Amino acid sequence: TLEHLDCNRNSTSVEQFAKQWGLEIGTVVEYTKHIVTAINSIRNTYIQWPDSIERQQISSRIEHLSGFKGCVGFLNKTDFVLEYKPLKDEETYYNKKKKYALTVQLICDELKFIQFANF
C-alpha cells in the first residue's frame, strides 16, 4: 500500500502498480482502502506526541547528531494524490498542482519514527 500511495502520481499509476504485481485494478483499489482504514484505526496507538522526558531525549540526540538545539522532530508535508474526485467537498481536496489529494503533515524524530500526523 505504501508503495502504491507513493507512486500514485497520475491516473495510470494504479494500472501500472496492478500490472507490476499481477493484480486486477479493483483489487489494488480495494486492498488500499482496507489497509488505509486499518492504519487509521490504530494510528492513535502508535503515533503519539512524545511526553516531556521523551522530548528531552529526542532533543539531546538531535543536538548531538546535527547541532540543532531544542529540536524535537522534523516536519514534512506531502500530498497523497487521489485516484478519483471526492464526492463531497471536493474543493477541499484540490491542491496547487490541480490534483485531488489528501495533504498529510508529519513530524518524525531523528530515527524516522512518526511522532505526529495531521490528515
pLDDT at 12: 52
Does the predicted model carry a pTM greater than 0.75?
A: no
For residue 101, count other CB atoms closer than 10 A to its CB. Answer: 16
**CA dist., res. 27 & res. 29, Å (int):** 5
Tell me the pairing of strands 114-118 and 74-81.
unpaired
In 1-119 the beta strands, taken as DSSP E runs, fall at 74-81, 101-108, 114-118
pLDDT digits (tens, 9 = 90+) for 2-54: 454 545 444 456 777 778 878 888 887 788 788 778 878 888 888 888 999 99
**CA dist., res. 48 & res. 45, Å (int):** 7
For residue 21, count other CB atoms closer than 10 A to its CB. Answer: 11
